[in-house]
Amino acid sequence: NGAVAGFVVGALEDTGENIYGHICNLAVLPRFRHHGIGRLLVTRAEHQFAIELATAVQLEVRVSNTAAQKFYHRLGYQNVFGIDSYYANGEDAFVMMKWFRF
């Protein structure tokens, strides 16, 4: 019916030494979850980052959001470190990364 089921927002970051992709936001409406849409959105973002010569992708996820952490682990992301009080409500975040193998 043309409804938006979800979206991904990403940015390319260049540190001078490395280029990496940053998934800033991923959202899929609840009624569209568990149909592969989130996986498709992340995979498309990763593909675009790779075209732009990124060597890895980084994202942040709430410590309390275990479902999202499991989702990203299934896609090959690893917890790298935590950030205290990352979110506006004071909640901590995990930084997760996936490295590309060329």
The three-point CA angle 57-73-3 to 5° equals: 75
**43-67 pLDDT, tens digit each:** 999 999 999 999 999 999 999 999 9
Of 56, 71, 63, nearest in space to 26 by CA = 71
**29-41 pLDDT, tens digit each:** 999 999 999 999 9
List of domains in the chain: 6-99 (3.40.630.30)
What is the model's pTM? Answer: 0.91
